Amino acid sequence: MEMFKTVDIRGHSFFSALQLTSEEFSRIKKNGILELIVDKKRNLTDSLSKWAKNQGYKISDIEDDPRMVRLFIQKGAV
C-alpha cells in the first residue's frame, strides 16, 4: 500500500479514467493521496471531484496549469 500515487489520465474517456482511478485508490493507504493529472482539453476535474466526494474522499488541492490540471484526492480514514 502506498501513501502517495500519481496517475496520468490524460487522453482517457471519463469511464476509463474513473475505472483507473478506482483501481489505484485500492492501492492507497488510509489518509493517503492520489494525484490525478487531467488533460486541459478534456477537463474531467468537476466529474472526478463529485465522484470522489460521493465515495467519501476529500479534495485536498487542485492545481490548474496551462498544460494540465492536477487533482489531489485524499482517501478518508473510514
pLDDT score for 65: 87
pLDDT score for 16: 95
pLDDT score for 23: 94
Q: Distance between CA atoms of 30 and 12, rounded to whole angstroms?
A: 26
Q: Distance between CA atoms of 58 and 28, rounded to whole angstroms?
A: 14
Condensed to tens digits (0 to 9), the pLDDT of residues 8-57 reads: 999 999 999 999 999 999 999 999 999 999 998 877 899 999 999 999 99
pLDDT score for 77: 62
CB 68 within 8 A of CB 40: yes
pLDDT score for 40: 85
CB proximity list for 29: less than 8 A, separation 6 or greater: 1, 2, 3, 75
pLDDT score for 78: 53
Helix (H, G, I), strand (E, B) or coil at 50: helix
